[in-house]
Structure 1
Amino acid sequence: MKINYNGLWKVLIDKDMNKKELMEEVGLSPATVAKMTKGEFVSMQVLYRICIKLNVDFKDIIEIGNREDKHDR
Protein backbone atom coordinates (compact mmCIF):
# COMPACT_ATOMS: atom_id res chain seq x y z
CA MET A 1 0.00 0.00 0.00
CA LYS A 2 1.21 3.47 -0.81
CA ILE A 3 0.28 6.82 0.56
CA ASN A 4 -0.39 9.62 -1.88
CA TYR A 5 0.72 13.08 -0.77
CA ASN A 6 -0.48 14.92 -3.88
CA GLY A 7 -2.90 16.89 -1.73
CA LEU A 8 0.01 18.24 0.27
CA TRP A 9 1.92 19.30 -2.83
CA LYS A 10 -1.22 21.08 -4.10
CA VAL A 11 -1.65 22.86 -0.76
CA LEU A 12 1.96 24.02 -0.95
CA ILE A 13 1.35 25.44 -4.43
CA ASP A 14 -1.80 27.20 -3.21
CA LYS A 15 0.14 28.70 -0.30
CA ASP A 16 3.08 29.63 -2.56
CA MET A 17 5.47 27.41 -0.58
CA ASN A 18 8.08 24.94 -1.70
CA LYS A 19 9.32 21.77 0.02
CA LYS A 20 12.34 23.51 1.50
CA GLU A 21 10.13 26.15 3.12
CA LEU A 22 7.86 23.39 4.44
CA MET A 23 10.89 21.66 5.98
CA GLU A 24 11.99 24.87 7.67
CA GLU A 25 8.52 25.90 8.88
CA VAL A 26 7.56 22.48 10.26
CA GLY A 27 11.02 21.25 11.26
CA LEU A 28 11.12 18.29 8.88
CA SER A 29 14.27 16.47 7.87
CA PRO A 30 15.19 16.05 4.21
CA ALA A 31 14.77 12.28 4.71
CA THR A 32 11.16 12.75 5.79
CA VAL A 33 10.32 14.88 2.76
CA ALA A 34 12.08 12.32 0.54
CA LYS A 35 9.89 9.57 2.01
CA MET A 36 6.79 11.62 1.29
CA THR A 37 7.94 12.32 -2.25
CA LYS A 38 8.30 8.55 -2.77
CA GLY A 39 4.84 7.83 -1.30
CA GLU A 40 6.22 6.14 1.81
CA PHE A 41 4.83 6.27 5.32
CA VAL A 42 5.79 9.00 7.79
CA SER A 43 4.72 9.33 11.39
CA MET A 44 1.33 10.62 12.42
CA GLN A 45 3.12 13.27 14.46
CA VAL A 46 4.76 14.63 11.29
CA LEU A 47 1.42 14.75 9.51
CA TYR A 48 -0.16 16.46 12.51
CA ARG A 49 2.55 19.15 12.59
CA ILE A 50 2.11 19.76 8.86
CA CYS A 51 -1.67 20.08 9.23
CA ILE A 52 -1.36 22.51 12.13
CA LYS A 53 1.20 24.68 10.32
CA LEU A 54 -0.73 24.76 7.03
CA ASN A 55 -4.15 24.98 8.73
CA VAL A 56 -5.52 21.95 6.87
CA ASP A 57 -6.97 18.54 7.77
CA PHE A 58 -5.41 15.13 7.16
CA LYS A 59 -7.80 14.48 4.29
CA ASP A 60 -6.44 17.58 2.54
CA ILE A 61 -2.86 16.29 2.38
CA ILE A 62 -2.94 12.49 2.17
CA GLU A 63 -4.82 9.75 0.38
CA ILE A 64 -4.49 6.00 0.69
CA GLY A 65 -3.48 4.43 -2.61
CA ASN A 66 -4.45 1.03 -3.98
CA ARG A 67 -6.69 -0.07 -1.12
CA GLU A 68 -6.84 -3.62 -2.44
CA ASP A 69 -3.12 -4.32 -2.07
CA LYS A 70 -2.64 -8.10 -1.70
CA HIS A 71 -0.22 -7.56 1.22
CA ASP A 72 -3.02 -6.08 3.34
CA ARG A 73 -5.36 -9.06 3.16
Structure 2
Amino acid sequence: MAVCYDKLFHMMIDKRMTNSQLMAKAGFSANIITRLKKNEYISLESIEKLCIAMECSVDDILEFQEKENDNS
Protein backbone atom coordinates (compact mmCIF):
# COMPACT_ATOMS: atom_id res chain seq x y z
CA MET A 1 0.00 0.00 0.00
CA ALA A 2 1.13 3.52 -0.74
CA VAL A 3 -0.08 6.74 0.81
CA CYS A 4 -1.42 9.61 -1.29
CA TYR A 5 -1.88 13.17 -0.03
CA ASP A 6 -3.88 14.55 -2.98
CA LYS A 7 -6.85 15.20 -0.69
CA LEU A 8 -4.69 17.50 1.43
CA PHE A 9 -3.61 19.57 -1.56
CA HIS A 10 -7.20 19.83 -2.81
CA MET A 11 -8.25 21.01 0.64
CA MET A 12 -5.46 23.60 0.63
CA ILE A 13 -6.72 24.92 -2.71
CA ASP A 14 -10.28 25.10 -1.37
CA LYS A 15 -9.06 27.02 1.69
CA ARG A 16 -6.71 29.17 -0.44
CA MET A 17 -3.80 28.14 1.75
CA THR A 18 -0.20 28.24 0.52
CA ASN A 19 2.54 25.80 1.44
CA SER A 20 4.17 28.53 3.54
CA GLN A 21 0.95 29.19 5.42
CA LEU A 22 0.50 25.50 6.13
CA MET A 23 4.09 25.19 7.35
CA ALA A 24 3.61 28.13 9.71
CA LYS A 25 0.24 26.95 10.99
CA ALA A 26 1.30 23.31 11.46
CA GLY A 27 4.78 24.19 12.70
CA PHE A 28 6.90 22.05 10.45
CA SER A 29 9.65 22.48 7.86
CA ALA A 30 9.67 22.66 4.08
CA ASN A 31 11.02 19.10 4.11
CA ILE A 32 7.60 17.83 5.23
CA ILE A 33 5.90 19.66 2.34
CA THR A 34 8.39 18.09 -0.07
CA ARG A 35 7.70 14.64 1.34
CA LEU A 36 3.94 15.22 1.04
CA LYS A 37 4.27 16.26 -2.60
CA LYS A 38 6.21 13.06 -3.31
CA ASN A 39 3.65 10.94 -1.41
CA GLU A 40 6.39 9.79 0.94
CA TYR A 41 6.12 8.68 4.55
CA ILE A 42 5.71 11.35 7.23
CA SER A 43 5.45 10.71 10.94
CA LEU A 44 2.17 10.30 12.75
CA GLU A 45 3.10 13.41 14.72
CA SER A 46 3.26 15.40 11.47
CA ILE A 47 -0.08 13.98 10.34
CA GLU A 48 -1.58 15.03 13.67
CA LYS A 49 -0.19 18.57 13.20
CA LEU A 50 -1.70 18.67 9.69
CA CYS A 51 -5.11 17.61 10.98
CA ILE A 52 -5.04 20.25 13.70
CA ALA A 53 -3.90 22.96 11.26
CA MET A 54 -6.50 22.00 8.65
CA GLU A 55 -9.24 21.31 11.23
CA CYS A 56 -9.97 17.90 9.76
CA SER A 57 -9.50 14.19 10.32
CA VAL A 58 -6.90 11.88 8.85
CA ASP A 59 -9.19 10.49 6.15
CA ASP A 60 -9.78 14.05 4.91
CA ILE A 61 -6.11 14.52 3.98
CA LEU A 62 -4.75 11.14 2.95
CA GLU A 63 -5.73 7.87 1.41
CA PHE A 64 -4.04 4.56 0.84
CA GLN A 65 -3.64 3.20 -2.65
CA GLU A 66 -2.46 -0.17 -3.82
CA LYS A 67 0.97 -0.14 -5.41
CA GLU A 68 0.97 -1.17 -9.02
CA ASN A 69 2.88 -4.35 -9.84
CA ASP A 70 5.47 -4.13 -12.59
CA ASN A 71 5.12 -7.84 -13.33
CA SER A 72 4.00 -8.01 -16.96
Q: TM-score, normalised by structure 1?
A: 0.84
Gaps of 5+ in 2: none
Take 2:16 and 2:68, find their aligned partners in 1: how far apart are those partners?
35
* Residues 11-50 of structure 1 mapped to structure 2, 5 A cutoff: 11-50=11-50
Give the CA deviation at 1:66.
Answer: 1.1
Shift of 1:68: 7.3
Count of aligned pairs between the two proteins: 69
* Helix, strand or coil at the partner of 1:3: strand
- Tell me, which stretches of 5 or more residues in structure 1 are unaligned? none
* Identity of matched residues, %: 29
> What residue in structure 2 maps to residue 63 of structure 1?
63
In the superposition, the TM-score normalised over structure 2's length comes to 0.85
Cα deviation, 1:20-69, whole Å, max 9, x if unaligned, reads 11011111111111111000010011111111121111000001121677
What is the root-mean-square deviation in Å for CA atoms of aligned residues? Answer: 1.6
